[in-house]
Amino acid sequence: MEIKVLPLGEIGANCYMLSTEKAAVVIDPGFYSETVSRFLIDNANKERLILLTHAHFDHIGGADSLRKNTDTKIGIGEFDNDTLADTKRNLSDLFHAKLLPFSADLTFSDNQTFSVGNINFKVLHTPGHTPGGVCYLTGDILFSGDTLFKGSIGRTDFYGGDFKTLEKSIKRLYTLDSKTTVFSGHGDATTIEEEKNFNPFIRG
C-alpha cells in the first residue's frame, strides 16, 4: 500500500491518500485540494472511500465538495456524524471556516470492520477529543486523527472533550502491537511503542 500525506489548510491537518491496485482511500480532507480530487478521479476504476477520523472543521472541510466532484462516499464514526451539520460543535464558527452542514453516507461503530478494495480496516472508537472520534487500523498502521500525536495528545477543551475519556482511549491504543505505525491528524508519524515510552501526557 502506498501512503501519501498532504497537510491542508492553515492549521495543517494531515490528509492521507492510500492506494493499492484495487483501492483508493482519502482520510481527513480538511480543505478542498485539487491534488486530492485528482487522486480520486485518477483512481476511479478502483474501490474508493473518504474517511473522517472526527468532525472538526480542519479535518472535514474539503469532504463534501470532494464527494460531489468525485462521486465518492464519506464514512465517519457514528457519534460524530451529527457534528458535521453543527457549525458550533465542529468549530467552523469559532475559526470562521464557513463550513456548510453535511452528513456522511456511512457511519461506523466501535470494532466494526470493513474493506475498501483489498484494504481491510478496523474501527476503534476513541472518544475524548470529540465524542465520536475514531481511529482506523489497517494491518500494523493506525490513523489516529487528533486522539494521539507524536509526543502529544488531542485537546480536550472543545465541545464534548474530556481528558479522562481521552486517557482511556489512548490506553486502549497502547494495547495495540507496539510496532504499529501511527499516522496522526497533525505532525509527524510515530509508533505505539514510542508513545508508550515517551509521550509526556499519557504513558503506557
Residues that bind Zn ion (CB under 5 A): 56, 146
What CA–CA distances, in Å, run from 187 to 3, 14, 47, 101, 144?
15, 7, 28, 27, 12
Residue number, 48 or 150, with CB nearest to Zn ion: 150
In the bound state with Zn ion, the residue whose beta carbon lies nearer, of 48 and 129, is 129
With respect to Zn ion, which residue has the nearer C-beta, 56 or 89? Answer: 56
Q: Give the shortest CB-13-to-Zn ion separation in angstroms.
A: 8
Q: How far is the CB of 54 from Zn ion (least distance, A)?
A: 6
List the one residue out of 128, 180, 172, 201 whose CA is nearest residue 193: 180
Q: Which three cell numbers stand for residue 8?
A: 491542508
Least distance in angstroms from the C-beta of 128 to Zn ion: 11
What is the rounded distance in angstroms from the CA atom of residue 121 to the CA atom of residue 47?
14
Tell me how far, at minimum, the Cβ of 24 lies from Zn ion, in Å: 24
C-alpha span between 50 and 48 (Å, rounded): 7
- Closest CB to Zn ion among residues 117, 132: 132
